[in-house]
Amino acid sequence: MTLSHSSFPDLGDGNAASHHARTTRGPSMADVAREAGVSSQTVSRVANGLSNVEETTKKRVLDAMQKLGYRPNRAARALKSGRFKSIGVIMFTLSTFGNMRTLDAIATAASRAGYSVTLIPLTDPTTGKVSGAYHQLREQQVDGVVIIFEAHLLDHADIALPEDLPAVVIDSNAGSGYSVVDTDQHQGARLATEHLLELGHRQVWHIGGPDSSFSALHRAESWKQTLEEAGIKAPEVLHGDWSAESGYRIGLELGKNPAVSAIFAANDQMALGAMRAMHELGRAIPEDVSIVGFDDLEEAASFWPPLTTIRQDFHAVGRLSIENLLHQIAGDTPARDVSVPTRLMVRKSTAPPAPGRSV
Amino acid sequence: MTLSHSSFPDLGDGNAASHHARTTRGPSMADVAREAGVSSQTVSRVANGLSNVEETTKKRVLDAMQKLGYRPNRAARALKSGRFKSIGVIMFTLSTFGNMRTLDAIATAASRAGYSVTLIPLTDPTTGKVSGAYHQLREQQVDGVVIIFEAHLLDHADIALPEDLPAVVIDSNAGSGYSVVDTDQHQGARLATEHLLELGHRQVWHIGGPDSSFSALHRAESWKQTLEEAGIKAPEVLHGDWSAESGYRIGLELGKNPAVSAIFAANDQMALGAMRAMHELGRAIPEDVSIVGFDDLEEAASFWPPLTTIRQDFHAVGRLSIENLLHQIAGDTPARDVSVPTRLMVRKSTAPPAPGRSV
DNA sequence: CTGAAAGCGCTAACAT
DNA sequence: ATGTTAGCGCTTTCAG
């Protein structure tokens, strides 16, 4: 592996040892134009891939660009055109598995389309409050934004976007006026619940996310509905906070009740916590109690026992968000709401109930 | 929760229903200047917080800004000044816990300093190859870059940076000419190994990361050295690929050997995989074999049993990178290399060896 | 198909 | 302490 500084093609001399860095400017269109013996206009046309340039001229320009190592100046382009080839990502926290997967996909899809991605952290680190996103955005110079929600952090937040700024929200239920891209929470929760029911369990308990989260809400709703369609009255939702710790706490309660044979946790972390509780309580998984998670973390297959869970396609969510946003930027009207299906991953944490153990 | 479009302060009329969005431009310095009855230069001075403006004038300008809802145009500023108030983050994959945590800290620290963060995905998604970072960067308009390494992906990559571009590399051993900020891998691995030794284990096996990774290399070196200092000849390193799956595979081998009573895995995922292997093999943790990880994932405390591991302070790594980079951008010469210490988190996966079991 | 002119919004350099 | 001038590198508009 090497990692080396390389000098600029057009600079043979030593460093300026100046105080403020980045004094160097690369070649401009004018330089290329001079080199190629054309007007800078023509260079611009070539740079933007416009059609009406003769082949031979085009080649001359391209050669000149190559020779000088020309790179367009985005600032100048933005200043003039009002477009930035940049999309902003507004998020509250990066440190969740789903968000980072999604961001990864966003970055990849955006870069493929020639857009750069700017992170816009919304919580003002100094005050801890959500601060004027609106103003931030006017300043940030982006052509559109993707908003990744952490609903439970948002109770008191108004995110007011400039009216003409294309936006996509990644979260179910974002409300008025926005394109929404999200995992199909309903379908996922139904898959999980039906799996347990089909195994022969007569009741399924649910460890839910915080009740301020829309994803959590939808998963709980769908779990309840699936149960009711099977003629089962759903028990109360036990609300965790997505953390393994909270799943552990709730799992301890649930585990003490011998009637509990099947648990659907709203994410893999809480499922992990619940499994730990069962281990401590001496309840065997899956013999005594079956557990299903949601997300399919990388590690879920290595939990003990390997966790049956619902796989979310975060990559698709990210990719489709950008697709949608790019359409909006181009002035098209894309599909308003996009729902990404999930898949049930059956592993070792679920099995039919032990005979005579369930209610 | 509300999420609403808000109209521009200076626009009362309806939408233009135009094709290409973002036709609206906010008020410029000239507008503010007119409103306040001063020259746009004075507005610029106020906007940049320069000292030499009279209080009353300053207030007039501030009021005008407020009234018009003025926001500076970064593109114009960048075009003129050659500085962008933006830092680039070059990374190969977002989808690891550590990288994400680090990125989070970077975004926070940068934003606090008034810098925005631009993601620069280095692997060209279309070709899958590492493509001209150099050119990307010249185009991206950033004042500096933080490079987050995944060394094992980098075997054939030359990252050539413009010579005068401030840069910080997050990885031990990055080589020539760069500021390096990283977790103190040596200290961490020593902590882990010593912990096992102090418990009374006579030998410690090591599940290492891929041998193309510098972090993995350093952890392995330090493990070996610690062992040798205790008069123990270290066994061969078993190389995984950071995944839980690889830890499981290696754990299966290790577990079959009754002499193995203590394992140090180079990350928590591999430790998790090794634990799964022990469970399947019927080797009790920690009674039969002790396991130590590295990273301290959020979930590590909820593994079964809760994992003893080395906590990395990713947040500090991110924050210090930005600190260092900002110094460079300002023209100062910051500390060249920064090492962030780790902490041993003792949980339930380690214990003294069962009597008569170790070699 | 190509070029000339104008100006996007800002700041650096020089007046006053 | 404030204003004037010039121009960053590009694209848009209009002429040829």
**Chain segment B38-57, per-residue pLDDT in tens:** 888 898 888 888 877 888 88
The residues facing B89 across adjacent strands are: B119, B146
Q: Protein contacts on strand C: list nucleotides below 7 Å from a Cβ.
A: 1-5, 7-13
**Strands, E assignment, chain A:** 2-6, 86-91, 116-121, 144-148, 158-162, 167-170, 179-183, 205-208, 238-239, 262-265, 290-292, 309-311, 337-340, 343-345
DSSP single-letter state for residue B349: S
* Interface test mutation site (partner B, options A164, A213, A272, A347, max chain B beta carbons within 10 A): A164
A-chain CB neighbours of B1 within 8 Å are 151, 154-155, 157, 175
B-chain CB neighbours of A245 within 8 Å are 301-302
* CB proximity list for A36: less than 8 A, separation 6 or greater: A42, A43, A57, A60, A61, A63, A64
What's the pLDDT score for residue B135?
58
Q: Which residue in chain B has the smallest CA separation from A15?
A: B164
Question: Can you tell me which residue has its alpha carbon closest to the C1' of nucleotide D5?
Answer: B41
Contact A133, A161 (CB under 8 A): yes
Structure tokens at B305: 């049993």
Higher pLDDT, A146 or B22: A146
Residue A79 CB closer than 7 angstroms to strand D? yes
**Strands, E assignment, chain B:** 2-6, 86-91, 116-121, 144-148, 158-162, 167-170, 179-183, 205-208, 238-239, 262-265, 290-295, 308-311, 337-340, 343-345
Q: Is the peptide bond before A286 cis (omega within 30 degrees of 0)?
A: yes
* Interface test mutation site (partner A, options B13, B93, B100, max chain A beta carbons within 10 A): B100
Of residues A121, A91, A95, the one with CA closest to residue A106: A91
Q: Which residue from B21, B94, B121 is facing A111, i.e. has the nearest CB?
A: B121
B-chain CB neighbours of A157 within 8 Å are 1
A164–B119 CB contact, under 8 Å: no
Higher pLDDT, B24 or A276: A276
What's the pLDDT score for residue A169?
87
Residue B25 CB closer than 7 angstroms to strand D? no
Structure tokens at A322: 């950008």
Q: If pLDDT is split at 50, 70 and 90, which confidence band does B11 have?
A: very low
Question: A219 vs A153, A235, A264, A315, A343, CA distance in Å?
Answer: 18, 14, 10, 20, 14
Amino acid residing at A17? A
Higher pLDDT, A325 or B158: A325
B-chain CB neighbours of A69 within 8 Å are 138
A82 CA vs D14 C1’ separation (Å): 21
Residue B59, pLDDT > 50, answer yes
B74–A139 CB contact, under 8 Å: yes
Average pLDDT on B19-41 reads 74
* Interface test mutation site (partner B, options A119, A124, A314, A328, max chain B beta carbons within 10 A): A119
Same fold, B84-183+314-341 and B185-312: yes
B76 CA vs C11 C1’ separation (Å): 9
Chain A: give the shortest CA distance to residue B123, in Å. Answer: 9
Chain A: give the shortest CA distance to residue B177, in Å. Answer: 8
B-chain CB neighbours of A108 within 8 Å are 121, 125
Residues composing chain A: 359
What's the pLDDT score for residue A126?
44
A71–B269 CB contact, under 8 Å: no
DSSP single-letter state for residue A307: P
A-chain CB neighbours of B2 within 8 Å are 158, 175
Q: What is the CATH number of domain B16-72?
A: 1.10.260.40
B-chain CB neighbours of A148 within 8 Å are none
Q: What is the CATH number of domain A185-312?
A: 3.40.50.2300
Cα angle B29, B34, B36; round to 5: 95
B33: nearest nucleotide, CA–C1' criterion: D3
A41: nearest nucleotide, CA–C1' criterion: C3
CA distance A32 to A41: 11
Q: Which residue from A76, A101, A272 is facing B79, i.e. has the nearest CB?
A: A76
CA torsion sign for B323, B324, B330, B332 is: positive
pLDDT tens, chain A, 359 aa long: 445 454 333 222 223 333 333 445 678 888 888 888 888 888 888 888 877 788 888 888 888 888 888 888 888 888 887 788 889 998 776 667 888 889 989 998 998 888 889 888 765 544 444 445 555 666 677 889 898 876 544 543 455 666 678 889 887 665 657 888 999 999 999 999 999 999 999 999 999 999 888 889 999 999 999 999 999 999 999 999 999 999 999 999 999 999 999 999 999 999 999 999 999 999 999 999 999 999 999 999 999 999 999 999 999 999 999 999 999 988 888 878 899 999 999 999 999 998 754 44
- Element spanning A322, H or E: helix A314-330
Residue A39 CB closer than 7 angstroms to strand D? no
What's the pLDDT score for residue A172?
64
A139–B71 CB contact, under 8 Å: yes
What's the pLDDT score for residue B209?
94
Q: If pLDDT is split at 50, 70 and 90, which confidence band does B334 have?
A: confident
The segment with the largest mean pLDDT, out of A6-10, B1-5, B25-29, B215-219, is: B215-219
Q: Which CATH number is A84-183+314-341's, of 3.20.20.70, 3.40.50.2300, 3.90.245.10, 3.90.550.10?
A: 3.40.50.2300
Question: Can you tell me which residue has its alpha carbon closest to the C1' of nucleotide D7?
Answer: B80
Q: Which residue from B6, B82, B135 is facing A25, i.e. has the nearest CB?
A: B82
Instruction: Give residue limits of the domains in chain A.
Output: 16-72, 84-183+314-341, 185-312
What's the pLDDT score for residue B128?
42
Residue B41 CB closer than 7 angstroms to strand D? yes
Residue B110, pLDDT > 50, answer yes
CA distance B159 to B48: 35
